[in-house]
Amino acid sequence: MPNQTFKLTGRAVLLGLIAAAYPVVAYTAPAARVAFATGDVKAIGPNGQSRSVAKGAQIDQGETISTNNGRAQLRFTDGAYVSLQPESEFRIDQYRYDGKQDGNEKGFFSLLKGGLRTITGLVGRNNKNNYQVTTSVATIGIRGTEYTIQYGQSIVGTVGEGEINVCNGAGCLSVTNGESYYVQSQEIRPVLTNKRTDLPPPSPQNPPSTFADGENVDQSGDPCVLFPSQCGPTPLLTGTGDFNVAYVGAFFGPGVVLNSASTVESGQLISFNRGFVDTLSGPYADVDGDSLIAWGRAASNSGGEVTHYAVGIPTSDFSALGGMTGSYALMGATTITDSSGTPVGMLNDMIMTADFFSAGFASLNIDMKMTLGSSSVVRLPSGGGSMCSGSLSFFASQSTGSGSVSVSGAGFFAGTNAVRAGFSYAVSDSELGIDGMGAGGLQQTGLSTTLIQ
């Protein structure tokens, strides 16, 4: 029986929290990492060897994820997410993404059984033929969309956002926002149905003994950060009190203040104390975050300067993190602007590892990717940094043709067990003659014991 492919033409791409978290010391990026796993989840290699996987595990091309009685969620390096239901098998047939859309990126997958919900990333965004999910009943080509597949002897699914083409040997069917589809077999043309995909929720279980901020899940076990519509809106940070603040302005470099008397209203930083009370005013732009951390940019501060900021709830006790290594991925960031507030670029991705060696101190590795000017994509690999008494500082640089790009930044950790990090930075591109600034937030994707050689 020939395989089938789904093709998608997307109208919108949900790329929150861009790029997966992976160590940056040696940038041999895996295809994906496990963002969430419960139960007996295994990765099976092309040679048939099996290994158990948990949150943070690396998943490579050619491997098959078998959830057995559990669940798993994968985050791919292009920003895509795949959330796998119990008793599912999902294989990464071919995957390539080098941090840029140059026509060589590709993602070909097979759903061997079970169900999945996914939000697609950058692979296939420009060329829909570069991305597809294959079953024995039909094939789906995906680009810039959210959709589900439930696969047994037949296929049913629902498109949450975007548009897909479901194709098999009998023909193709276009499925758009809110519509559901049904494919009985390879020989029968796909049809629309009024029944949404039923991906059953997990069985009731006792709540965990400990709970980490940022791990809210919906009734299907999917983190709310991936499918926020399943959990309702996340309130943005609001309050008056002592917050951590990272900031950068038109005429001052990146700075950070800890436990600053501040006022925050729905993610908008109204005032903070950096030796004097600095009052910000709108219009605000790029305001985003969650209840622990927020970032944005204000049109002016007390001196009439454009200001980018990140603000968060302080991490109260770093002593518990001694000897641990934290992995962090980008939640979101402001548009890079010049001193007048004119956009000059975008931070596309940022990953960080933090080796906490004592209370309030850590060494950092930073990897950033950004677009400067109209199309210049720059990767700043493995920049160094440190946390000293709770404040972060970091740098990164990269040669580019006849010039170079350099970044200097400042920041802080936020939330219990440092589950968030906020940062501000200044960037300079000598080749393009661009000087810009930005701010954003990171979320912790893994915390493990540091191995001492």
pLDDT in tens, the chain (453 residues): 444 444 433 332 333 322 333 333 333 458 898 887 888 899 999 999 999 988 888 899 999 999 998 888 898 888 788 889 889 999 999 998 877 777 788 899 999 999 888 878 778 777 778 888 998 888 887 755 778 888 877 888 888 777 888 898 898 888 887 788 889 888 999 998 877 665 554 443 333 333 233 345 444 445 554 444 455 555 789 999 999 999 999 888 899 999 999 999 999 999 999 999 999 998 999 999 888 999 999 999 988 899 999 999 999 878 888 888 888 988 889 999 999 999 998 888 888 999 998 777 889 999 888 888 876 778 787 778 999 888 999 998 888 777 889 999 999 999 888 889 999 999 999 888 999 999 999 988 877 764 333
CATH of the domain at 333: 2.40.160
**Left, alpha or beta for 259 (phi > 0: left; psi -120 to 50: alpha)?**
left
For position 22, what pLDDT does the model report? 33
If asked whether residues 10 and 150 sit together in one domain, one would say: yes
Model pLDDT, residue 63: 96
How many other CB atoms sit within 10 Å of the CB of residue 196?
14
CATH of residue 149:
2.60.120.1440
What domain range includes position 279? 239-312
Which own/partner contact pairs does 184-193 have at CB distance under 8 Å and 24+ positions apart?
Answer: 184/137, 184/154, 185/137, 185/153, 185/154, 186/1, 186/2, 186/4, 186/136, 186/137, 186/138, 190/138, 190/166, 193/156
- Please tell me whether residues 308 and 335 are part of one structural domain: no
pLDDT value, residue 137: 84
Contact 85, 200 (CB under 8 A): yes
- Residues 35 and 159 occupy one common structural domain: yes
Residue in 201, 244, 253, 232 with CA at minimum distance from that of residue 85: 201
Same domain (yes/no): 45, 157: yes
What are the tokens at 237? 């940070």
Which class for 445: exposed (0-12), middle (13-18), buried (19 or more C-beta within 10 A)? buried
Task: For residues 258 and 352, state if they share a domain.
Answer: no
Based on the domain organization, do 305 and 329 belong to the same domain? no
How far is the C-alpha of 300 from the C-alpha of 302, rounded, in Å? Answer: 7
Using an 8 Å Cβ cutoff, are 329 and 442 in contact?
yes
Check residue 185 and report its DSSP letter: -
Within 10 angstroms of residue 52's Cβ, the number of other Cβ atoms is: 10
In a domain, 233, yes or no: no
What's the domain count of the chain?
3
Residues 175 and 255 in one domain: no
332 and 445 together in one domain: yes
Same domain, 307 and 324: no
Q: Which residues contact 26 (CB under 8 A, 6 or more apart)?
A: none
Q: Are residues 163 and 250 in the same domain?
A: no
Residue labelled with tokens 């999945």: 116
